[in-house]
Structure 1
Amino acid sequence: MPLSFEAAIAAFAPDLPLAVGLSGGADSTALLLACARRWPGQVHAFHVHHGLQQAADDFVRHCEALCARLQVPLQIARVDARHAPGQSPEDAARRARYQAFLVLAQSASAQAAIKNIALAHHADDQVETLLLALSRGAGVAGLAAMPAHWQRDGLLWHRPLLQVAGSAVRQWLAGQGVAWVQDPSNQQERYTRNRIRLHLLPVLDEVFPQFRDTFARSSRHAAEAAELLRELAQADLLSAGVPPAISRLQTLSAARQANVLRHWLREHHGTTPSSAQLQALLAQIKACTTRGHRIHLKVGSGFVQRNNAVLDWYNSALL
């Protein structure tokens, strides 16, 4: 069953001091307010100015006033979140935001030793992420949606509200008499996530009232499967070597080959192959039975090629 906002905050037990990502919207305002009340003097706020809309300056002013009222230190990062050709605007903004949070945490660490950052994603956000992954034909890693806790770049990241419905977050905040800002872009239907929020979630609420809980359960199952696949890939890559030996890969089933190749490319080269690219690579590995067989395929953001007995990957942009 979904948690109440109060129960989720009560169960949240991060190491202190804690930074809260603050956009100025209802969800992050509620999370900051609750955390500041629970751990007075131990909470900081990080705000990212994306530079994408005129209202961004109003967001900053709101966050400054809120943090002054709560006596919470506020740090602001200004980023250029414009998307590159072929990149989604949402993905560009998300990447810029996480990088900014990392920079803010590092700049604050000398004084506050901030190692924990809380984000205000809730159960509705989790459902939207899962539906987006389904629409893109994602595998189990994508269907695992957003983790509640993870570690990256020396920081511990938390999403304490993932089991709380968005309406419950806003209802709690309204009861506190605290205002928040409305992001105009949340109503723009050119963004797929907004169309899901505005059109699909109300229908799911009517047809499957427990969908937040059941969808979250499916995501947890996918996360467990993704972890098993990661452990299998680590073992297979240890056997195949880095870079992987073609003859070793050929002893594996096609499914295990695909799994270990994805792992190798992601973990060692920071790139992800498309399904078509991976299938083409598997076909070339299967056909590679002679010394003169050549492999040179576009994979992810670079190329996989045969180098004697092993596969190599290189980024053409760096040549």
Structure 2
Amino acid sequence: MTHSFEQAMAAFRPALPLAVALSGGADSSALLIACAERWPGQVCAIHVNHGLQQAAGEFEAHCKALCQRLNVLLAVQPVAAGAAPGQSPEEAARSARYKAFESLSLDGIGQVAIQSIALAQHADDQVETLLLALSRGAGLPGLAAMPSHWQRAGIDWYRPLLRVPGRAVRDWLRARGETWVEDPSNGDLRFTRNRIRAQLMPVLEAQFPAFRDTFARSSAHAAQAQWLLLEVAQGDLAAVGTPPQIRALQQLSAARQANVLRHWLQSEHGCAPSAAQLQELQRQIAACTTRGHRIEIKVGGGFVRRSNDRLHWYNPRVLAP
């Protein structure tokens, strides 16, 4: 069920010291204020300046003033968030942010060795993420939306506000007389996420008042199912080998074969095949009944190739097997 801002913060128990990702908007400002008051001297802030809009300077100035008032150490990291081919500007900016968060935290901020990072996405952001995943025909990883806690590079990452409606965060700030910087791009309806927030969310609120809770439950079910598929994939990959043996793959059902191929490509090569690429790869595996059968299929940023009795993935721009 949805929580108040106070309930969410009371339940939040990260490993300290903690870094808060601070954009200067309402959500991250509220999160930093609450954390700094609860754990004085144990909280730092990280502000990533993408330099992508005129308001970037205003965001940075707000973050500096807020951290000075809270006596919180602030690390400001400028990044170049140019989009790679096939990557949206939003994806490029998000990737640059996470790399900056991770780099600063691993190196330490000042003399502080960061143990946890807190991000300020709330329940409305979670709904928007799920709806975007549905609109793109995503599988279970997309439908699971955003996790509330995970580990990466030895750091604990948290989203403590995922059960808090966005309006509750802003109400908490207003009640305290706090200010924030409004991102001017939030009103730009060219972005799908903004259209969801401005046009679709009010309809959901009117027709299904509990939609934040029910959508969150669906995402939790998807996340649980994805963990189960991961366990199956890990066992199957151990059985078929790394790189996978073609004959062993052929002994699996189509669903388990697809599952283990996705896991192999992602875990070993950081490659996410499209549905069409995976389907063609499975068709070729099924047809591979002679020694002379050749397999070479584009998958992600590289190719899957048959070599003797096994499959290999390679990037021709780096090194072929």
TM-score, L = length of structure 2: 0.98
The CA deviation at 1:317 is 2.3
Report the counterpart of residue 24 of structure 2 in structure 1: 24
Cα distance in 1 between the residues matched to 2:241 and 2:84: 35
Q: Does 1:2 align with 2:2?
A: yes
Report the counterpart of residue 246 of structure 2 in structure 1: 246
Q: Does 1:228 align with 2:228?
A: yes
Read off the aligned partner of 1:280 and give its amino acid letter: E
Cα distance in 1 between the residues matched to 2:4 and 2:223: 24
Are 2:44 and 2:109, in contact at CA under 8 Å, matched by a contact in 1? no
Alignment of 1:182-201 (within 5 A): 182-201=182-201
Corresponding residue pairs, total: 319
The CA deviation at 1:28 is 0.2
Report the counterpart of residue 282 of structure 1 in structure 2: 282
Report the counterpart of residue 129 of structure 1 in structure 2: 129
The CA deviation at 1:104 is 1.4
Cα distance in 2 between the residues matched to 1:119 and 1:78: 18
SS at match of 1:87: coil
Report the counterpart of residue 95 of structure 1 in structure 2: 95
List gaps (5 residues or longer) in structure 1: none
Runs of 4+ more than 2 Å apart: none
SS at match of 1:317: coil
Report the counterpart of residue 216 of structure 2 in structure 1: 216
Read off the aligned partner of 2:257 and give its amino acid letter: Q
Are 2:9 and 2:34, in contact at CA under 8 Å, matched by a contact in 1? yes
Report the counterpart of residue 179 of structure 1 in structure 2: 179
The CA deviation at 1:47 is 0.3
SS at match of 1:111: coil
Are 1:52 and 1:82, in contact at CA under 8 Å, matched by a contact in 2? no
Cα distance in 1 between the residues matched to 2:103 and 2:165: 30
Map Cα deviations across residues 93-138 of structure 1 (whole Å, 9 max, x no partner).
Answer: 1000000101111232672110200000000000000001101111
Are 2:126 and 2:145, in contact at CA under 8 Å, matched by a contact in 1? yes
Q: Does 1:145 align with 2:130?
A: no
Report the counterpart of residue 62 of structure 1 in structure 2: 62
Report the counterpart of residue 307 of structure 1 in structure 2: 307
Map Cα deviations across residues 223-268 of structure 1 (whole Å, 9 max, x no partner).
Answer: 0000000000000000000000000000000110000000000000
Larger mean CA deviation between 107-116 and 156-165 belongs to 107-116
List gaps (5 residues or longer) in structure 2: none
Read off the aligned partner of 1:156 and give its amino acid letter: D
Q: Does 1:165 align with 2:165?
A: yes
The CA deviation at 1:153 is 1.5
Cα distance in 2 between the residues matched to 1:83 and 1:263: 26
Map Cα deviations across residues 185-213 of structure 1 (whole Å, 9 max, x no partner).
Answer: 11111211111111111110011000000
C-alpha change, 1:110 and 1:241, in structure 2 (3 Å) is farther
Cα distance in 2 between the residues matched to 1:173 and 1:76: 23
SS at match of 2:150: strand
Cα distance in 1 between the residues matched to 2:249 and 2:110: 47
Report the counterpart of residue 82 of structure 2 in structure 1: 82
Report the counterpart of residue 202 of structure 1 in structure 2: 202
Task: State the Cα RMSD in Å.
Answer: 0.9
Map Cα deviations across residues 15-46 of structure 1 (whole Å, 9 max, x no partner).
Answer: 11100000000000000000011111111010
Read off the aligned partner of 2:105 and give its amino acid letter: A
Read off the aligned partner of 2:88 and give its amino acid letter: S
Read off the aligned partner of 1:8 and give its amino acid letter: A
Report the counterpart of residue 39 of structure 1 in structure 2: 39
The CA deviation at 1:82 is 2.1
SS at match of 1:112: coil
SS at match of 2:156: strand
